[in-house]
Amino acid sequence: MTDKPPPPAPFWRTKTLEQMTPEEWESLCDGCARCCLVKLEDEDTGEIHFTDIGCTLLDAKTCKCRDYRRRSRRVRDCVTLTPEAVRSLTWLPATCAYRLLGEGKDLPDWHPLVSGSPDSVHAARASVRGRVHASEDDLAQEAWPGRIVLWPNRPPRRRRKSDDG
């Protein structure tokens, strides 16, 4: 019996963000849509606060952008992530794969690249599915501060047995 060589390490463990192909880069997005929530900046402290309000292009049920290709043209403050941006943006959620890899950390077990399933992000309660209160088009900006929430910048809580059914 011959020993098989170990499988190669996944690309996110062997490449820097700059070395990734466009396809690899895009596959890092876990589809959580946390970055697509409206964020407010405290004018005095510069602190960023997430809300439970979705971007005008966010489909809150699928956690996908309704016009991903043209999002930057349609939404003035939509940010296109680059390796440089990932390392400088302070508001990327703590669970964001780009942020994690930029900080030298690994992907969580619920990330679709690790689990093999695009639904694992939702099953782990890491996505915004079921948590978006409204679209930014539905609420006056004056109401936005009342929609600040803490969960988007925290890792998902582990499910308890009683949560399953």
Place of tokens 């703590």: 94
**% of the chain residues with pLDDT over 70:** 94
Q: What six digits make up the tokens of 115?
A: 């689990």
Name the DSSP letter for residue 148: B
CB 36 within 8 A of CB 128: yes
Rounded CA-CA distance 37/106 in Å is 24
* Average model confidence (pLDDT) across the chain: 92
* pLDDT value, residue 160: 52
Task: Please give the pLDDT value at position 157.
Answer: 75
1, pLDDT greater than 80: no
CA nearest to 155, candidates 67, 98, 94: 94
pLDDT digits (tens, 9 = 90+) for 135-154: 999 999 999 999 999 999 89
Q: What is the pLDDT of residues 4-34, one digit of tens each?
A: 888 889 999 999 999 999 999 999 999 999 9
78-106 residue pLDDT tens? 999 999 999 999 899 999 999 999 999 99
pTM of the model: 0.87
Q: How many CB atoms lie within 10 A of CB 23?
A: 8
Query: What is d(CA 18, CA 98) in angstroms, rounded to the nearest whole number?
Result: 11
Q: How far is CA 60 from CA 9, 57, 136, 163, in A?
A: 34, 9, 12, 22
82 CB-near residues (< 8 Å, 6+ apart): none
As a whole number of angstroms, the distance between CA 15 and CA 46 comes to 33
